[in-house]
Chains A and B, each alone.
Chain A
Amino acid sequence: MTERERPRNDDEWLSALIDGELAPDDEAKLRARLDREPELAARLERMRSADGALRAALDAGRDDPMPAGVMALLQSDDKVVSLQRPDPRRFFDLPLAMAASAALAVGFVLAQLWPLQTGPGGGAERLLGASLIEEGTSLHAAVSTLPSGESARVDGAALTPRLTFRDAAGVPCRVVDLAGDELLTEVVVCRDGSDWRVRMAGYGPPRDAVAGDFQPAFGDRSAVDRALDALIADAPLGRDEERALLERDWVSE
């Protein structure tokens, strides 16, 4: 700290100590004073306690879902929420509220299909864990075996893979529609070992689909389709390439 920024009274000194803003020499002098002056030490502890109480009070609402209006602002253009964390080291910083908001955006179809845990005890890791479509589930079987354009009923929703592609790393991915009565959810899933991991999800009202007709869900070009631009390495796979992947159970040659 420069001379001008040095604390000017005891409370500023104590605050700077709490915040780790003191130079080592200054900190040593202050700690020596705290040893000699119990009242000053008690004041420091009260300040620290106040900080702790404040953090606890403001953290109490961290698991609340994000306001729908706020999320709508971030989805009205794209209607897409990326469920992929950019930095895995910060995984446990992921506030549940944010993840829960993402889950809301994913829509009730997926909420029905996946055991989303957003209450006390349900951590963000469980929610992200739920964004993995695990081998052995009916959802996994449908995503893994249906050619694009064919549909199957999965737990009350109509599931239809729309296209298959590879991401920049060459990992096979699929765009899948999940149509419920009131909501159409589009998800992008990519292979993760023998499972499928959800990379993006978008939602909107159901389209007035003509059977077999791939009418875009959300206007001329769906949100997921637009977001795919950032994910897709090349053109979608053709039917022959897709069939080969299906037959090899998604193991690349």
Chain B
Amino acid sequence: MSRKADRQTAALHAEIIEALPRVRRFARGLAGNVADADDLLQATVERTLSRARPANLDVARWMFRVCRNLWIDEIRARNVRRDAAPRVAAEDEQIIGDDAAVLGTLGAEEVMSDLSELPDEQRAVLVLVAVEGFAYREAAEVLEIPIGTVMSRLSRARATLSERLRGSD
């Protein structure tokens, strides 16, 4: 590999490493459990390394988009598996559970459980905006949806989550 290519690869790796903690948090928000989130994160990094990045996205935003798209693909694949083999699906569907200690307190477990019951697209917007601090325009760009859709999904997600958490007080 040429020196220039080495430098480009090193720079890409550095940007990925810098974004990893945020993308992992996003992956955990989407997946709802540590094991699936780790798999999702690994697939995200693999794809980020192997695919060309859109010119309008920096590496971090590109990773968020890849992560979300992979998760949607994973869910579709999982649903197919679950329909074909319900007994296997029972294991696949574990939420948090054994990973509670890793994720933190019981409160965190409840929140993650409530979060996991939101539709995937609402969850993605909620974590991007409320946790990662994306502006609506940025979230729309990453998720490739109109800003109006960001607003509606976000408000529905917040309303549902706040009511569920209120009910569990």
Contacts and interface: CB of A to CB of B under 8 A. Distances in A.
A169 interface: no
Contacts of A78: 9-10, 13
**Does more than half of chain B's interface fall in helix, strand or loop, or is it mixed?**
helix
Interface string A29-68: 0000000000000010011011101111111111010110
Say what secondary structure dominates the interface of chain A: helix
B21 interface: yes
A5 B25 CA distance: 28
Interface residues of B, number: 55
B155 interface: yes
B17 interface: yes
A73 B161 contact: no
Interface stretch (B34-42, B54-62, B87-95): B34-42
Nearest to B158: A47
A54 B107 contact: no
B49 interface: yes
A14 B162 CA distance: 13
Given A60-B104, A61-B104, A51 B130 contact: yes
A54 B131 CA distance: 7
B13 A59 contact: no
Interface in B1-57: 1, 3, 6-7, 9-10, 13-14, 16-18, 20-21, 24-25, 28-29, 34, 38, 41-42, 45-46, 49
Interface of A: 4-5, 7-9, 11-12, 14-16, 18-19, 21, 43, 46-47, 49-51, 53-62, 64, 66-67, 69-70, 73-74, 77-78, 80-82, 86, 95, 97-98, 101-102, 226-227, 229-230
16 contacts: A11-B159, A15-B151, A19-B129, A19-B135, A43-B159, A47-B158, A49-B165, A51-B130, A58-B25, A60-B108, A61-B24, A61-B104, A62-B25, A67-B41, A70-B45, A73-B42
Interface of B: 1, 3, 6-7, 9-10, 13-14, 16-18, 20-21, 24-25, 28-29, 34, 38, 41-42, 45-46, 49, 102-105, 107-109, 111-112, 115, 126-127, 129-131, 135-136, 147-148, 151-152, 154-156, 158-159, 161-163, 165-166
